[in-house]
Amino acid sequence: MPTERPLRRGSAFRLCLLSAALFLCLQLGVRRSWCPEEKPQGPAAGLGPPRAPPRGPPQPPGRRRVTYVRSGRRRGAEPGCCPPQPPGGPRRKAVRWHIDLQPWASPTPSLTFEALRFLKYISTSQISCERMNLSSLGGDAETTKKPWSVCLDERFGLIHRIRSKQCRLYSLGLGNDDNQFEVSMAKSGCEVHRFDPSIKSAHIQEGRRLWYHRLSVDWRDPNPAIAAHRLHSNTKKLGTILNEFGHQKIDVLKADVESAEWKILENLILEDVIEQIGQLVFEVHIHWPGFEVSGNDSTVVRYWYSLLRELELKDFRLFHTYKDLSKPQMFLKKAAFNASSCYTLSWVNTRWQ
């Protein structure tokens, strides 16, 4: 019996040690599962996991690697090309691929109702303009063969920019069009750029304020997969030309492009280039749908009308309209609706500054 008591005491002591060790392990396990991991201290704290080292040879000291990305005005952003958006969501406008078509002019599609609505729209001024004659500026303004009218009222910015020699005119043309309007605007104090793919040289300067460029303004990007087209094409969108020339605004955009005006106008609206323009002077052709405009006759006229209503939504107002009686009196290849095949229309951006 005396030897049995020390053995019991030793067993009890070992049991206590084992229980303490088990309790300690349980405590450590509970703490590890419930407590968050400690964040690293120092300047890198909160910046996320470390990035993998850059590939390629190390850069020499004192030089930074800079990547230039051409900013597409209306294209979708490429991964990694843009800074993070501020809180509250992106501020850039959503890309538009099509204009919003207006409701049909009648309960069922009808060419007659569409044509009457459209012709009434292009024949009715929306805002009055008292001064549209360049001769009122006191310069040497020859009489032009076509009524290319700009609004020179004091309430709009064009007259003030002409007086301060800060006016800019872009003219889109094809072939041997009359250029007296451009010459008059240049003599009045405007910086004039005429784009015509038929001239012989890439750039020609005529006088102090008049330039000719061998470029055709289009509504679509050239196909990058066709090398010859990319190298030799003289076709660019107006937004691209503005970027390359470093111009932020156009006070007047004149266009006589033989039925390409509808798609060019659509591109200006979809890419928001229209907001950089003060006045539009367009010759519109309605004897056929126009380049790349498809659909039956009533659908085409609805598209034309919807384009002009888009201009109105952008605060453009029609201040002058001219029906050219010297051209064939045709409407979509028919002698109908007492319409001419050609109208000259002038709009002013009422928000222009």
User: Domain residue spans in the chain?
Assistant: 147-349
Predicted local confidence at residue 81, as pLDDT: 35
Return the top range by mean pLDDT from 36-40, 64-68, 69-73, 230-234. Answer: 230-234
Mean local confidence (pLDDT), 38-50: 39
Mean local confidence (pLDDT), 162-187: 90
Per residue in 196-229, pLDDT (tens digit) is 988 888 999 998 999 999 999 989 876 666 655 5
- First-to-last CA distance in the chain? 113
Predicted local confidence at residue 240, as pLDDT: 93
Residue 139: pLDDT over 60: no
Residue 45: pLDDT over 60: no
Decide yes or no: CATH 3.40.50 for domain 147-349.
yes
3-class DSSP state of 37 = coil
Structure confidence at residue 27 as a pLDDT band (50, 70, 90): low
Residue whose C-alpha is closest to residue 174's, from 218, 240, 223: 218
Task: Please give the residue that has the higher pLDDT: either 110 or 92.
Answer: 110
pTM for the model:
0.71
Residue 121: pLDDT over 50: yes
Return the top range by mean pLDDT from 43-52, 66-75, 242-251. Answer: 242-251
3-class DSSP state of 281 = strand
The values of phi and psi at residue 37, to 5°, are -70, 150
Predicted local confidence at residue 38, as pLDDT: 41
Give the integer Cα–Cα distance in Å for 133 and 141: 9
Mean pLDDT lowest for which of 68-77, 130-139, 340-349?
68-77
Residue 94: pLDDT over 70: no
Mean local confidence (pLDDT), 14-21: 67
Residue 86: pLDDT over 80: no
Mean local confidence (pLDDT), 25-30: 54
Mean local confidence (pLDDT), 276-295: 96
Q: What is the mean pLDDT of the chain?
A: 79
Mean local confidence (pLDDT), 262-287: 96
Structure confidence at residue 35 as a pLDDT band (50, 70, 90): very low
Predicted local confidence at residue 176, as pLDDT: 65
3-class DSSP state of 151 = coil
Give the integer Cα–Cα distance in Å for 151 and 130: 8
Question: And the tokens for 279?
Answer: 């006045």
Mean local confidence (pLDDT), 304-319: 97
Burial of 288 by CB count in 10 Å (0-12 exposed, 13-18 middle, 19+ buried)? middle
Helix H or strand E segment including 319: strand 316-323
Mean local confidence (pLDDT), 277-302: 97
Structure confidence at residue 54 as a pLDDT band (50, 70, 90): very low
The CA-based angle 271-277-278, given to 5 degrees, is 150
Structure confidence at residue 16 as a pLDDT band (50, 70, 90): low
* In the chain, % of residues over pLDDT 90: 57
Residue 74: pLDDT over 70: no
